[in-house]
Each structure stands twice: as structure tokens, then as C-alpha cells.
């Protein structure tokens, strides 16, 4: 849904459960030639979005509708059918992958061609395609890799980021190939990933050096997982009553692909009793950003988190700007 009111002085006020309020402000200003300072976007506590509220669609239509009725307040809500047909959905993907390894199980080369079903409009798809290509090697060290990734127009509804910014589809394809190659080499699935896991000092597909800070320790994760799920007992365990408990293994990595000039700010107000009020531009869409921000502030100020109060909604007129173009 999206609500728009245009005041007599030309100010545009939009209320939307969006995860990108500052992007709405920027685009409405650009599309309609309205001075940026005259556009206000209010986002209440959303609570959950996971990418599904990243696209900017109904907000634009609400502005057009309000203009058509001399600025009166317009509340625009999709029906279920309209939502399925016109609003953005999850991406589709077709991928062809080749992996080559030596007899000891070390992957030496990979060749990938990936097609992303972008739907009828490009929207965010090219940026997702870029992010997918950047992470095409997954959490593995592949010294020789070639990847072509294409954003393709189709007659489907257009796509948006959702959870993982396209990486889940890539991971399914890559991990399936890892399974098949490990089986071909007769190497245990976890052992095969331990052999090829990216470690400190290796390079990613686009030649970024791996560190513990930017990637972590995949070997330690796998060893811990192996013990926790009792991997050695076998991948399939009879549970009685015709039930079978199956085990599988998959590894996932994701970079944010945020531009280096992305910015963020916070306002901290000190109350008379010493408690703090925190205002940040991040909308709470599920991952607990507001909570994390409060924890960081409490730790830095050496006070209890119970004395940090966070403003949960976002008002682009008063809340400090946050770069959140679809919050990748």
C-alpha cells in the first residue's frame, strides 16, 4: 500500500511500508520535477520485508492519483490479483556450469553462463546480476573462472531483490554442481568443500583478497557442523514408522555490493536522566538493524541497552539519510 497527500504549497507527503524511504524521496523528486526538500516519506515500523518491500511502485501511482484529485489524500492498495500480476516477484534463473578438478579433489577451473529472468522491466535486476557475478565462485577458491551473467527481459512480472539479492538461486546451482563433482571423484561432501573452501590469502572471482574479516573461516564452520549433525553416521538415517531423516550440506556466501560512497548517519539525543534516544535511517525489515544499532551505541557509551531508546519509524524530513537503494 501507499498513501499520498499533496499540500497547497506543493509539498508531497507519502506514507509507505517501504524499506527504501530515501530512494522514494529521490525518485519522486526526479520523476515529477518536485524540489527534493518538498518530498517527505514516512515509514512506520515495518517489522518484516526481506526484499519484498524494496521496489518502488505504488508510491509513484499514489502521487499521480493525488495529483488527479487536487492533492487530496489517496490511499492505494493492491488486490491480491493485482499484486500477483503487476507487483515485483522473485527472480527466475537458468544456469549452465562446468567445474573441473584434479584427482585430489581441488577445483582448478569453472565456466558459468547465467541468465536471470528480469521480467518486463529492468528495475533492480541489473544490479542483482552484477552481485551474482561478483560472487559466482561462492565461498570456494577457484583459481581459473569465467562467468557471464545476463539480465534478460521476459513477459513475466518484473523482479525484485527478496532475501539474498539473487544469491540463493546462484547457490542452488553451484552447490548442486559441487555435489555432482564430489560424487564423481568419490570424495565425502564435507571433505570436498574443505579442500576447496576459500581461506585467508586466496582471491575471489573478481580478485579481492580473502580475509577472516570479509569472509570468515569456512573450514572451522564445516568442522563444527560435521560434529553437530553427526555427519559420520551417514546422510540417511531410518527413524522408524516409515520415517527417514536425511542430511545435506551446502555453503553460502554473499557480499553487499554496496557502493564505496554509500553513506549513513545517526542522531543521538541525551535525555536529562542520562538515557539516549537514537534515530537512524534504517528501516526495520526483519534482520534486527534497530536492535544492533542500540547495542553498538550502548557498548560505545558504556551504558545498559535498557537505557537506549530507538525511534522505530523513519521520517525523511528529520531522520538522517541512509544510503539504502534497495538495501542490498
Q: Per residue in 33-89, pLDDT tens? A: 999 999 999 999 887 777 778 788 899 999 999 999 999 999 999 999 988 888 888
Cell of residue 200, nine digits: 585467508
User: What pTM did the predictor assign?
Assistant: 0.83
Q: Identify the pLDDT of residue 256.
A: 65
Q: How far is CA 135 from the centre of its chain?
A: 13
Q: Identify the pLDDT of residue 325.
A: 56
| Strands 107-119 and 144-153, bridge-based pairing | parallel
In sequence order, which residues have a C-beta less than 8 Å from that of residue 191 and are 6 or more positions away?
A: 105
- Residue 200 CB-half CA count within 13 A: 6
The reply to whether 92-246 shares the fold of 2-86 is yes
Cell of residue 280, nine digits: 537512524
One CATH from 3.30.70.1250, 3.30.365.10, 3.30.540.10, 3.30.565.10 for 2-86: 3.30.365.10
Q: Structural domain boundaries of the chain?
A: 2-86, 92-246
How far CA 194 is from CA of 152, 183, 230, 274, 290, in Å, comes to 35, 15, 17, 50, 36
Q: Which CATH class is domain 92-246?
A: alpha beta
Low-confidence spans in the chain with pLDDT less than 50? 326-328
Q: Per residue in 143-177, pLDDT tens? A: 999 999 999 999 999 888 877 888 889 999 999 99
| Cβ contact 4:32 at 8 Å | no
Q: Identify the pLDDT of residue 64.
A: 97
Amino acid at each position: 500500500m501507499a498513501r499520498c497527500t499533496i499540500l497547497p504549497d506543493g509539498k508531497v507527503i507519502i506514507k509507505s511500508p517501504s524499506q527504501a524511504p530515501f530512494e522514494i524521496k529521490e525518485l519522486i523528486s526526479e520523476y515529477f520535477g518536485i524540489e527534493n526538500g518538498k518530498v517527505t516519506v514516512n515509514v512506520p515500523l515495518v517489522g518484516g520485508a526481506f526484499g519484498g518491500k524494496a521496489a518502488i511502485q505504488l508510491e509513484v501511482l499514489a502521487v499521480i492519483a493525488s495529483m488527479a484529485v487536487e492533492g487530496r489524500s489517496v490511499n492505494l492498495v493492491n488486490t491480491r490479483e493485482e499484486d500477483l500480476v503487476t507487483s515485483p516477484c522473485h527472480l527466475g534463473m537458468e544456469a549452465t556450469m562446468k567445474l573441473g578438478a584434479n584427482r585430489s579433489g581441488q577445483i582448478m577451473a569453472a565456466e558459468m553462463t547465467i541468465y536471470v529472468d528480469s521480467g518486463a522491466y529492468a528495475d533492480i535486476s541489473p544490479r542483482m546480476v552484477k552481485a551474482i557475478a561478483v560472487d559466482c565462485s561462492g565461498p570456494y577458491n577457484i583459481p581459473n573462472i569465467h562467468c557471464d551473467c545476463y539480465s534478460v527481459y521476459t513477459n513475466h512480472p518484473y523482479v525484485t531483490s527478496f532475501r539474498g539479492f539473487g544469491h540463493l538461486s546462484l547457490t542452488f546451482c553451484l552447490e548442486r554442481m559441487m555435489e555432482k563433482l564430489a560424487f564423481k571423484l568419490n570424495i565425502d561432501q564435507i571433505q570436498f568443500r574443505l579442500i576447496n573452501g576459500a581461506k585467508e590469502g586466496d582471491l575471489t572471482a573478481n580478485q579481492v583478497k580473502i580475509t577472516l574479516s570479509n569472509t570468515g573461516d569456512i573450514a572451522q564452520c564445516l568442522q563444527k557442523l560435521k560434529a553437530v549433525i553427526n555427519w559420520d553416521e551417514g546422510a540417511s538415517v531410518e527413524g522408524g514408522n516409515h520415517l527417514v531423516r536425511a542430511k545435506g550440506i551446502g555453503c553460502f556466501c554473499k557480499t553487499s555490493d554496496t557502493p564505496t560512497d554509500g553513506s549513513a548517519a545517526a542522531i543521538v539525543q541525551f535525555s536529562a536522566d542520562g538515557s539516549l534516544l537514537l534515530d537512524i535511517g534504517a528501516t526495520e525489515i526483519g534482520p534486527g538493524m534497530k536492535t544492533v544499532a542500540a547495542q553498538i551505541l550502548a557498548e560505545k557509551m558504556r551504558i545498559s541497552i535498557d537505557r537506549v531508546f530507538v525511534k522505530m519509524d523513519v521520517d525523511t524530513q528529520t531522520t538522517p539519510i541512509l544510503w539504502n537503494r534497495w538495501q542490498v
